A and B are shown apart, each in its own frame.
Chain A
Amino acid sequence: MTTKASNRGAAIEIRSITKTYGDFRALDDVSLHVEPGEFMTLLGPSGSGKTTTLNVVAGFTDLTSGTLLVGGKNVVGVPAHKRNIGVVFQHYALFPHMTVGRNVAYPLTLRGVGKAEREARVLRALDMVKMRDFAHRYPSELSGGQQQRVALARAIVFDPPVLLMDEPLGALDKKLREWLQLEIKRIHRELGTTFIYVTHDQEEALVLSDRIAVFNRGRIEQVGTGRELYDEPSTLFVGRFIGDSTVLRGGARSDGTGTALKIADETVTTPRRLSGDVTPVMLLRPEKLSIRRPGQPAAGQNRLSGRIAEAIYLGSGSKYEVALGDGSLAIVRSSLTDESFKIGEQVDLWFDGADAKLLADDASAETTLT
């Protein structure tokens, strides 16, 4: 924090990293490039390899094969304490026998920073997380949110070019979490450090990140901005994991003009086609579906009939779950000005075939979501 320039983030280059435990592949050929100063989030379900990736970058876990560059230097084999990478843990990990001030001063003491400069930097770091008045408290005298802010101060006080955070807000309640998300975002902006952030909460990922890497079963399914992942998911898993979605599957047929699916006794079509020997499914975002009473037409050439299974009032509108003819559930959002529907009512859903994403079916997309 002495000068802005010393504080630039470092690029991180993960190349084909594999980590095995016995026969089990916790990470399977993972590659990821993080730009200097970027806020990258690793998102994925439990056990998908997010923490393992972070631990490999931090140096807590050895990799089985692959290369890891931080700031252009190969750090494979460099022990954690020589990597100069800040880490914030879900469980705070503050030293209980040291005051807040001494906790934050710890990395500076190790680096031989003189007393005067040390104190100034500790205060600046505590200022940044708004914990200046707590320097003389012990961690046990702080709330969870306060402890995590101190842990954050301790991780940034030595100006690491990279900061790793593993579900830092996981143990906090929703209100506090949302506030701290904004604080973390502000700190990232002020520092210019490269952040890698782990979460399994897609909303949190969308709020914070420049880009998101979606993990599934030890692999990265897709890397992109939140908008890219929402609008252009490259796999069914990503489409299902980010935002609400409706998946249509059944009796797929493709020809020169596009693809047709049969849902119970109704047929829907899209001009898109998939190449290769895969079963296509359609993925639809809630806002691409229009909900109407039977007989009232709407835009779009595809119509599916169903019955309202669940109606959720959202304030700005309503969300409906509609049971389709084949028993699957469609998710539709309607705005305030639209009519409202009751549970059990018969409705028609309309959509434009061009708005449907055509993706290869993947059974794991449904099972690993929970």
Chain B
Amino acid sequence: MEMKPLTRAVLGLICLLVGIWLVAPTIVVAPMSFNGVKSLAFPPRGFSWQWYENFVTSPDWSSSFFNSLKIACLVAILATVLGTLAAFGLDRMRARPANLIRMLLLTPMVVPGVVLAIGIYAVYLDARLVGTLTGFVLAHTILALPFVLIAVSANLEVFDKRLETAAASLGAGALTTFRTVTLPLIAPGMLSGLLFAFATSFDEIIVSLFITNPYLRTLPVQIFASITRDADPTVAAVGTILLCVTTVLIGGGMLLLGRERRGRS
């Protein structure tokens, strides 16, 4: 159906406004990170790299960055292994119990973060896990697991199990079949799950705020602490870096998922 020019113009305008509204907070951060003066006022005045310099040289910032990196890497690996195993188990179970367990595993996506945080904090106090690497990795893995489960399950759904029968007829035992047939074919799902898991951990703030202590801070916690203390544009620099990293990761993950879907249809 042909659209009237006026309708088209109005529709375009609305789309533009919504678009600006959605990305405005994001595009505000980047210019502020190059602020010439120590202020978070918008628009920024002048231009300088000093806040990026500060991020790299200040021990507070760099140590929290490396904490986050370390935790996110461990979480990505742990969540990918566990999530893949869970996806396999559920795929090979009868539908009813499988759906129930799947819902259970996906609850961290639905339950309000703060509720989870309180629960985890309460348990961690007793278990002496507050402010520990183990504590962060375990907590973030809970949050990251659903992403891996979803990505690998989607991949398993299109995986043709009859290929495993064919491999057996050609002489491959269960392990060899997994290594040479199943794994290569679900690798895209696992990789996209891994990227999502990494990103989830890397920018997680709610639970982290509860289980952090002065000795172990992640980057988002450091940002939060800094911004509540003073108006340091370093947070904008860090935010911009975070933005770039997560965009690349999530974009990569989505691309992998999308290609997998298209490739098999």
Is B one of A's binding partners?
A: yes
Q: Which residues of A line the B interface, CB within 8 A? A: 58-60, 79-82, 84-87, 89, 91, 93-97, 106-107, 110-111, 154-155, 158
A87–B169 touching, CB < 8 Å: yes
Q: Which of A59, A96, A158 contacts B170 (CB 8 A)?
A: A158
User: How many angstroms between the C-alpha atoms of A106 and B171 in the bound complex?
Assistant: 9
User: How many angstroms between the C-alpha atoms of A111 and B185 in the bound complex?
Assistant: 22
List of B residues within 8 angstroms of A110 by Cβ:
170-172, 176
Given contacts A97-B184, A110-B176, contact A84 B162 (CB under 8 A): no
B165–A158 touching, CB < 8 Å: no
Closest chain A residue, CB of each to CB of B187: A97
In the assembled complex, how far is the CB of residue B98 from the closest CB belonging to chain A, in whole angstroms? 21
List of A residues within 8 angstroms of B230 by Cβ:
none
Contacts beyond the supplied A85-B169, A106-B170, A107-B170: 17 A-B pairs with Cβ under 8 Å: A60-B168, A60-B169, A79-B173, A80-B168, A81-B167, A81-B168, A82-B171, A89-B165, A93-B162, A93-B163, A93-B165, A96-B185, A106-B167, A107-B171, A110-B172, A155-B170, A158-B171
Listed A/B pairs (5) with beta-carbon separation below 8 Å = A86-B169, A89-B162, A93-B163, A95-B166, A110-B171
User: How many angstroms between the C-alpha atoms of A155 and B171 in the bound complex?
Assistant: 11
B157: interface (CB < 8 Å): no
- For chain B, give the interface size range: 10 to 19
A95–B162 touching, CB < 8 Å: no
List of B residues within 8 angstroms of A58 by Cβ:
169
User: How many angstroms between the C-alpha atoms of A91 and B168 in the bound complex?
Assistant: 16
B2: interface (CB < 8 Å): no
In the assembled complex, how far is the CB of residue B186 from the closest CB belonging to chain A, in whole angstroms? 11
User: How many angstroms between the C-alpha atoms of A107 and B169 in the bound complex?
Assistant: 9
List of A residues within 8 angstroms of B165 by Cβ:
60, 80, 89, 93
Q: Which 5 A-B pairs have the closest CB atoms?
A: A93-B166, A87-B169, A107-B170, A80-B168, A110-B171
User: How many angstroms between the C-alpha atoms of A87 and B160 in the bound complex?
Assistant: 17
Residue from A58, A91, A110 having most chain B Cβ neighbours under 10 A: A110
B254: interface (CB < 8 Å): no
A89–B170 touching, CB < 8 Å: no
List of B residues within 8 angstroms of A96 by Cβ:
185
Given contacts A89-B162, A93-B160, A110-B176, contact A81 B169 (CB under 8 A): yes
Closest chain B residue, CB of each to CB of A97: B184
Residue from A59, A81, A82 having most chain B Cβ neighbours under 10 A: A81
B181: interface (CB < 8 Å): yes
In residues 167-206 of chain B, which contact A (Cβ within 8 Å)? 167-173, 176-177, 180-181, 184-185
Closest chain A residue, CB of each to CB of B171: A110
User: How many angstroms between the C-alpha atoms of A106 and B170 in the bound complex?
Assistant: 8
In the assembled complex, how far is the CB of residue A241 from the closest CB belonging to chain B, in whole angstroms? 28
Q: Which residues of B line the A interface, CB within 8 A? A: 160, 162-163, 165-173, 176-177, 180-181, 184-185
B166–A87 touching, CB < 8 Å: yes
User: How many angstroms between the C-alpha atoms of A107 and B185 in the bound complex?
Assistant: 18
A97–B171 touching, CB < 8 Å: no
Closest chain A residue, CB of each to CB of B184: A97
A95–B181 touching, CB < 8 Å: yes
User: How many angstroms between the C-alpha atoms of A58 and B180 in the bound complex?
Assistant: 21
In the assembled complex, how far is the CB of residue A93 from the closest CB belonging to chain B, in whole angstroms? 4
A91–B172 touching, CB < 8 Å: no
In the assembled complex, how far is the CB of residue B57 from the closest CB belonging to chain A, in whole angstroms? 47
Given contacts A95-B181, A96-B185, A97-B184, contact A111 B171 (CB under 8 A): yes
In the assembled complex, how far is the CB of residue A72 from the closest CB belonging to chain B, in whole angstroms? 21
User: How many angstroms between the C-alpha atoms of A110 and B169 in the bound complex?
Assistant: 12
A89–B166 touching, CB < 8 Å: yes
In the assembled complex, how far is the CB of residue B205 from the closest CB belonging to chain A, in whole angstroms? 39
List of B residues within 8 angstroms of A81 by Cβ:
167-173, 177
List of B residues within 8 angstroms of A154 by Cβ:
170
A95–B168 touching, CB < 8 Å: no
In the assembled complex, how far is the CB of residue A110 from the closest CB belonging to chain B, in whole angstroms? 5
List of A residues within 8 angstroms of B185 by Cβ:
96-97
User: How many angstroms between the C-alpha atoms of A163 and B177 in the bound complex?
Assistant: 21
List of B residues within 8 angstroms of A84 by Cβ:
171
User: How many angstroms between the C-alpha atoms of A255 and B157 in the bound complex?
Assistant: 66
Closest chain B residue, CB of each to CB of A107: B170
List of A residues within 8 angstroms of B180 by Cβ:
106
User: How many angstroms between the C-alpha atoms of A84 and B160 in the bound complex?
Assistant: 23
User: How many angstroms between the C-alpha atoms of A80 and B165 in the bound complex?
Assistant: 9
User: How many angstroms between the C-alpha atoms of A325 and B176 in the bound complex?
Assistant: 66
Residue from A59, A79, A95 having most chain B Cβ neighbours under 10 A: A95
List of B residues within 8 angstroms of A97 by Cβ:
184-185
A91–B170 touching, CB < 8 Å: no
User: How many angstroms between the C-alpha atoms of A86 and B185 in the bound complex?
Assistant: 23
A91–B169 touching, CB < 8 Å: no
In the assembled complex, how far is the CB of residue A27 from the closest CB belonging to chain B, in whole angstroms? 19
In the assembled complex, how far is the CB of residue A349 from the closest CB belonging to chain B, in whole angstroms? 50
User: How many angstroms between the C-alpha atoms of A321 and B225 in the bound complex?
Assistant: 92
List of B residues within 8 angstroms of A93 by Cβ:
160, 162-163, 165-166
User: How many angstroms between the C-alpha atoms of A60 and B180 in the bound complex?
Assistant: 19
User: How many angstroms between the C-alpha atoms of A87 and B163 in the bound complex?
Assistant: 12
List of B residues within 8 angstroms of A82 by Cβ:
171
In the assembled complex, how far is the CB of residue B191 from the closest CB belonging to chain A, in whole angstroms? 14
Residue from B166, B181, B184, B185 having most chain A Cβ neighbours under 10 A: B166
List of A residues within 8 angstroms of B160 by Cβ:
91, 93
